[in-house]
Amino acid sequence: MAAQADTLDIDNLDFDPDALRRRYDHERDRRLQPRGEDQYLETKGDYAEYFDADPYSGEAPSRGPLTLTPDVIVIGGGFAGMFAAYRLLEAGFDNLHIVESGADFGGTWYWNRFPGSQCDIESYCYMPLLEETNYMPTQKYANAPEIFEHCQRIARMFGLYEKAIFQTRVEAVDWDDRTSRWTVRTNRGDDIAARIVVSATGPACIPRLPDIPGIRDFKGHSFHTSRWDYEYTGGDSSGNLDRLHDKRIAVIGTGATAVQCVPHLGRSAKELYVFQRTPSSIDIRGNGPTDPEWANSLPAGWQKERQENFNDVLTGQPFEVDLVNDQWTAVFRSMKNVFFAGEGDAVEGAAREELERLNEIADFDNMNRIRARVNKLVQDPAIAETLKPWYRQFCKRPCFHDDYLPTFNLPNVTLVDVSDSYGVERITEDSVVANGKAYPVDCIIYATGFEISTSYRKRLRYDVNGVNGQSLYDHWKDGRRTLHGHSSHGFPNWFLIGATQVGVSANYSSMVDEQALQIVYILKELRERGANSVQPTLEAEDDWVRVIKQSAQDVSDFFDACTPGYYNNEGKHRESTAAFIDAYSPGVNAFNRLLQEWRGKGDYEGLAFR
């Protein structure tokens, strides 16, 4: 289904943009709270169990400390780490190890096994290395077990298991100028001296908890969605949570994770209470099996082409065919129809402000459709009203689901609106308290997200001490500083893959492969020259920070107007280095081209080899 805005007549709107803008501002203002990211608790210290627990593999088998002198240590075995290791091995960097806290590869897909978990980007774009592994996903949006199995397939095919050090966490890396190596300290007491460190820890790996008064007092069961306790709930990621038939369950949070697991909880729990602070926008999913005839017809190079096409649609670039053609692209196409006059030409001479105004109107129109969908799917008008999102769609990760909204028609499911009190008020020994009322429950499931755009110390969770022992977090205290997102002055041979100061995409895999290629390109030169180290010059770092700051201005106004969330650092993006404000705003395709052109020049501009 195409967005209404495909046929939007902007001169005869059937809604009042000013009224909507006022409503959005009002909804944002009552959610903005002074605590910003401090409203969340880190899952360490008293709360370490929510991070350390591995319900899938149990406690790590004991082993003695390892003594290793690898060329490369890759930290993290999720998509980013796997791409890095794959590209490094391809380039002949055989003396490498991958340190991973899980007991297998997969990262996000190792940890996030909650019922209903599924990729929300089309799997033909999202699942890595499909052509290289000769694998075709079974559905347009693959379920979590299939993605996890695919990670295992990649690891088997490309020799990553031989390089893995599982169930081990890096705690610190310290640069030793004398030996030009990083001392890598782990929680297993390992003695590792690596020439190069590639940090690939991913955005959705470190769960966080809400700092709700009394959270420690609860005597029932509780867990975070990324450590799903099937022992307690029964069933598996396809649902059938049969041990919940006599249980009262609270879910705190209604982001992308809750949207996928709530339908299963609603089906199985005796009583389900969903505590909602801000509703997600829930668009059509429309999943379906892969057509084998289509799959067989794909020419070589199809996956990259598809990924780039998806990114083009999402960044308003001209494209001939929308290959993915789902609700993600429909929404962006609807904006493009306003931006571009028919044949893909930009509206003649239109000022930037005018384009932004038109874009906002297309967004209003689309969100009207999404709100109307709530009315169609939810029987009780008061509940439907509470489930309606009042913000621009990309203030939060858009969600796509066909069963989430109808779950609130079930008699055992209660939606509790906690928007008036900055969230759940209190937790007691046996209840969740909201709006002055106690809801007695047996189990609390925290769907409260991850350290995605919080400060880097929280996100990386390990110390990085560079030349003269300088901490990376001190170097970045006034904002992150990198060259092209991959490295920082004063931290030789330390590389980062992720969402920092790079082109970002809703499709994470299309970001990390190019970053891995860039790092490998630099490391090949390091090897070729027989140099000890490479790092960006201060000037090159300054230049790139300037580019990124300019980019940030492009999106700052948008995020000012947004309801709080991790995209805008809970409404404090101007005083912080939140991920989306720290990105290269022309987008991932433009960023990838910029890297390719940089490599094409072959002069390693901005890098100092020693």
Site string for ligand NDP, 82-121 (x = CB under 6 A): ------------------------------------xxx-
Site pattern 532..561 for ligand NDP (x: CB under 6 A): ------------------------------
Minimum distance from residue 420 beta carbon to ligand NDP (Å): 11
Q: Is 163 an interacting residue with respect to ligand NDP (CB under 6 A)? A: no
Among 173, 258, 324, 395, binds ligand NDP (CB under 6 A): 258
397 contributes a contact to ligand NDP by CB under 6 A? yes
Name the strand (E) or helix (H) holding 460: helix 456-460
Tell me: does residue 565 bind ligand NDP (CB under 6 A).
yes
Q: Which is nearer to ligand NDP, 164 or 259 (CB)?
A: 259
Binding residue (CB under 6 A) for ligand NDP from 334, 448, 507, 551? 448
Residue 253 or 485 having the CB closest to ligand NDP: 253
Among 192, 206, 252, 545, binds ligand NDP (CB under 6 A): 252
Report the 10 Å Cβ neighbour count for 391. Answer: 23
Distance CA 577, CA 552 (A): 10
Of 418 and 534, nearer to ligand NDP (C-beta) is 418
The reply to whether 441 sits near ligand NDP by the rule CB under 6 A is no
Binding window for ligand NDP (CB under 6 A); candidates: 59-67, 129-137, 316-324, 417-425: 417-425
Site for ligand NDP in 265-284 (CB under 6 A): 275, 277-278
Q: What is the footprint of ligand NDP within residues 172-211 (CB under 6 A)?
A: 204, 210
Q: Which of 184, 206, 447, 552 binds ligand NDP (CB under 6 A)?
A: 447
Eight-class DSSP state of 435: T
Q: What angle do CA 343, 395, 278 make, to 5 degrees?
A: 135
Interaction between residue 418 and ligand NDP (CB under 6 A): yes
CB of 262 to ligand NDP, least distance (A): 11
- 511 is a site residue for ligand NDP (CB under 6 A): no
Residues 30-59 that bind ligand NDP (CB under 6 A): 31
Smallest gap, in angstroms, from Cβ of residue 16 to ligand NDP? 26
The token pair at 76 is 């993290």
SS3 607: strand
- Does the footprint of ligand NDP cover residue 423 (CB under 6 A)? yes
Residue 334, amino acid = S
Count of residues for the chain?
A: 610
Using DSSP, state whether 72 is helix, strand or coil.
strand
Contact 589, 317 (CB under 8 A): yes
Q: Which residues pair with 368 in a beta bridge?
A: none
Residues 6+ apart with CB under 8 A from 179: 193
List, as one string, the DSSP characters of 1-15.
Answer: ---GGGG--TTS-SS
Q: Under a CB-based contact definition with an 8 Å cutoff, are residues 542 and 467 in contact?
A: no
User: Is residue 142 at the binding interface for ligand NDP, with CB under 6 A as the rule?
Assistant: no
Q: Which residues of 184-211 are buried (b: 16+ CB within 10 A; e: fewer)?
A: bbbebebebebbbbbbbbbbbbbbbbbe
Options 75-83, 166-174, 180-188, 250-258: segment touching ligand NDP (CB under 6 A)? 250-258
- Cα–Cα distance for residue pair 257/338, rounded to 1 Å: 32
CB of 257 to ligand NDP, least distance (A): 3
The structure tokens 């347009």 sit at: 140
Q: Nearest approach, Cβ of 279 to ligand NDP (angstroms)? A: 8
3-state secondary structure of 258: helix
d(CA 392, CA 366): 9
- On whether the CB atoms of residues 296 and 583 are closer than 8 A, the answer is no
| Nearer CB in complex with ligand NDP: 156/437 | 437
Whether the CA torsion 261, 262, 263, 269 is positive or negative: it is positive
What residues line the site for ligand NDP (CB under 6 A)?
31, 118-120, 204, 210, 212, 252-258, 260, 275, 277-278, 397, 418, 423-424, 447-450, 565-566
